[in-house]
Amino acid sequence: MILILFVAVGLLVGLLWAWFLKTPYHGPDLKAMWLALLGFLPQILVARLPNLLPNRMDAASLTISQVVLLGFAWLNRHVAGMYLFICGAALNLLVMEANGGFMPVSPQTADRLFSEEALLELSPGDRIGPKDILLLPQQTRLEWLADRFLPPAWFPFQAAFSFGDVFIAVGVFWMLVRPNTLSGNRGT
């Protein structure tokens, strides 16, 4: 959710800045977009076809997805904001691999995301959502990198996010704004 918000705001700011400079908006010059689509495919399959494969296969699919997306990002490291994206994706991959291939979420964080009835049916080690696993903080490796942050309670969409997600979101924001900054040129 945080990524979608930063994409929308980054695109809006980039468009407004281009309008202010009276130049056409130029998005980032990305190579091998097919690789990004290929990288998201396993995540989409795991999300849309839950429980089709054993957890071990879902975890492997998510790992493959992250590695392919990191490859795409490395190919495009010349683009503004991409090093932040790479850093965030690497942090997410690190914490997921340290916790069996899924992103850990603590019961305290899950408490804001799920109804009390749903939480009563869950126990530590259960998957919650396509990429998350419920783990107690003391059971979580690299807990400080887990999905542990939440938007304010008044925000209409609640979703947990991690330090890695913040780096990814800021990198994408910068990528969408940067091509039209200051000189109006299509720079990086």
List pLDDT tens digits, range 77-117: 999 999 999 999 999 999 999 999 999 999 999 998 888 88
| Confidence bin at 183 (pLDDT 50/70/90) | very low
The whole-angstrom separation of Cα 74 and Cα 155 is 34
* Cα angle 53, 59, 63; round to 5: 130
Tell me the percentage of the chain whose pLDDT exceeds 90: 65
47-56, 90-99, 130-139: lowest mean pLDDT where? 47-56
pLDDT in tens, 36-50: 999 999 888 888 876
Band the pLDDT of 26: cuts 50, 70, 90: confident
Would you state the pLDDT for residue 49? 77
Q: What percentage of the chain reaches a pLDDT higher than 70?
A: 93
Structure tokens at 12: 């809006």
Does the structure show a pLDDT above 50 at 170? yes
Nearest to 164 by CA among 71, 96, 72: 96
Instruction: Check pLDDT > 50 for residue 23.
Output: yes
What pTM, to 2 d.p., does this model score? 0.87
For the chain, give the mean pLDDT: 89
Upper half-sphere CA count for residue 59 (Cβ side, 13 Å): 17
User: Does the pLDDT at position 184 exceed 50?
Assistant: no
pLDDT tens digits along 148-163: 999 998 988 889 999 9
84 phi, psi to nearest 5 deg: -65, -40
Q: Is the pLDDT of residue 118 over 80?
A: yes
pLDDT for 163: 96
What's the pLDDT score for residue 1? 64
